[in-house]
Amino acid sequence: MKRISIMALILSTCLVSGAWAQQPARNVRTNWSQFRFDVSHTGLNPDEHVLNVDNVGSLNVKWRYSSRGEIDSSPAVVDGVVYVGSHDGNLYALKASDRGVMWKYHTGGQVNSAPNVVNGVVYVGSDDGNVYALNATTGALLWSYATGGYVYSSPNVINGALYVGSNDGNVYALNATTGVLLWSYATGGQAQASPAVANGMVYVGSNDGNIYALDATTGILQWSYTTGGTVFSSPAVANGVLYVGSTDNSLYALNATTGALLWSYATGNYVYSSPAVANGVVYFGSVDRNVYALNADTGALLWSYATGNQVKTAPAVANGVVYFGSLNRKVYALNATTGAELWMHRTGGEVNSSPAVANGVVYVGSYDGKVYAFNLKKGRK
């Protein structure tokens, strides 16, 4: 099911003692506090030192928790608590140790948005059109802000400001403490993608086919780039380059300062997946049923892996391993250098949720309504 290119084999040889060289396991406490791990949405957890290419094949189900609805939302993991939304309208706070429910908060619609946890506050969007700020310990409502459409977008919070898109076509900047509107920017279509923030700019895609770069303080447009399709993919920004997918079947690399095209790579179908960027490689999935690894500088193919069904989720990268889900109901772990399959687990439904990897545990949701936690020791089923 996998195709390993000559370039990937060469890269594997060259990197034996390089970026992916395994570090000894040690006690580590890291958080995966938001969609794509960080504000620039790289999808890379650089502090994971428990799971690696040698032991990830031994992952077992630590626990699974059943909600009353399908799960698109990608989990956030902070200080021993897993936060995740469900189509049943609830945002859940679960104990990472044993799946115990600390609290749940019911919104007025499905929760597709991935939560973001910052300074003891959980921020999340809902299909009821609202953005919510909740106390991370108790689930108590701190504030809510009503947009004019569904909020699939996952909030991004930095320097006291929250940035989020809405299906009403606007990108919003809110005061993260009070929920007061700072500014909004109208795109030409639904803004379902989640904004990335870097270099004092907010980067976000729209269903009008454009990528927008907005001044983070004022919301003033700095540049835009038109792709040939809608942009559901959330951009990732690394080393001065913005990477994003489009339904014109391509992944784009743009100069993050100017918006100039650096390169593009054509797959065989839509690219809904949000890319991950790690150690000079871009990882993403396609509706053509493949996961791709490209040279981040040139766009050259390093390897691809065929799953047999659509890949819409965003990959997560940690300690030499790439994690992702597929509509074939499976969650995968691949060798980040070669694309070789290291581990796979079948869930009871399609996997649209993007994995979170923290403290030796992989968390992901499924359309079977369950949140899964996988680690190296067998736990509660």
Cα–Cα dist 365/348, whole Å: 10
* Two tokens, residue 96: 């990472």
pLDDT beyond 90 at 202:
yes
pLDDT beyond 50 at 311:
yes
CA distances from 156 to 54, 161, 205 (A): 34, 8, 14
Torsion of CA 248, 43, 140, 89, to 10 degrees: 40
Mean pLDDT, rounded, for 116-141? 98
pLDDT of residue 30: 87
CB atoms within 10 A of CB 180: 10
What's the whole-model pTM score? 0.91
Please provide the distance, in angstroms rounded to a whole number, between the alpha carbons at the two ends of the chain: 29
Mean pLDDT, rounded, for 372-380? 83
Name the nearest CA neighbour of 202 among 232, 172, 245: 172
pLDDT of residue 11: 42
CA-angle at 340, arms to 290 and 33, nearest 5° = 75
Q: Is 60 helix (H, G, I), strand (E, B) or coil?
A: strand
CB atoms within 10 A of CB 333: 25
pLDDT of residue 323: 98
List the domains of the chain with CATH numbers. Answer: 2-19+31-375 (2.130.10.10)
pLDDT of residue 2: 41
Share of the chain above pLDDT 90, in %: 91
CA distances from 358 to 136, 174, 278 (A): 18, 29, 16
Q: Where are the alpha helices (DSSP H) in the chain?
A: 6-14
> Phi, psi at residue 332, to the nearest 5°?
-125, 155
Cα–Cα dist 350/262, whole Å: 34
Share of the chain above pLDDT 70, in %: 92
Q: In the chain, what's the furthest Cα-to-Cα distance?
A: 54
Cα–Cα dist 41/33, whole Å: 11
pLDDT of residue 377: 83
pLDDT beyond 70 at 379:
no
pLDDT band at residue 380, thresholds of 50, 70 and 90?
low
23 vs 108: which has the higher pLDDT: 108
pLDDT tens, residue by residue, 2-36: 444 434 443 444 433 334 444 444 445 789 999 99
Cα–Cα dist 26/116, whole Å: 27
* Two tokens, residue 167: 């299906």
pLDDT of residue 24: 42
Cα–Cα dist 281/300, whole Å: 10
Residue 66: what residue type?
A: S
Mean pLDDT of all residues belonging to the chain: 93
* Two tokens, residue 146: 């009503």
pLDDT of residue 5: 45
Cα–Cα dist 21/18, whole Å: 5
Q: How far is CA 110 from the centre of its chain?
A: 18
pLDDT of residue 269: 97
Bridge-based pairing of strands 341-346 and 330-335 is antiparallel
pLDDT tens, residue by residue, 49-92: 999 999 999 999 999 999 999 999 999 999 999 999 999 999 99
By residue count, the chain amounts to 381
pLDDT band at residue 378, thresholds of 50, 70 and 90?
low
Cross-strand pairs, 225: 211
pLDDT tens, residue by residue, 237-249: 999 999 999 999 9
Mean pLDDT, rounded, for 301-314? 96
pLDDT tens, residue by residue, 237-280: 999 999 999 999 999 999 999 999 999 999 999 999 999 999 99
pLDDT beyond 90 at 284:
yes
pLDDT tens, residue by residue, 214-239: 999 999 999 999 999 999 999 999 99
pLDDT tens, residue by residue, 170-185: 999 999 999 999 999 9
Name the nearest CA neighbour of 312 among 335, 336, 333, 328: 328
Mean pLDDT, rounded, for 318-323? 98
Sheet holding 221-226, edge to edge: 196-198, 201-205, 210-215, 221-226
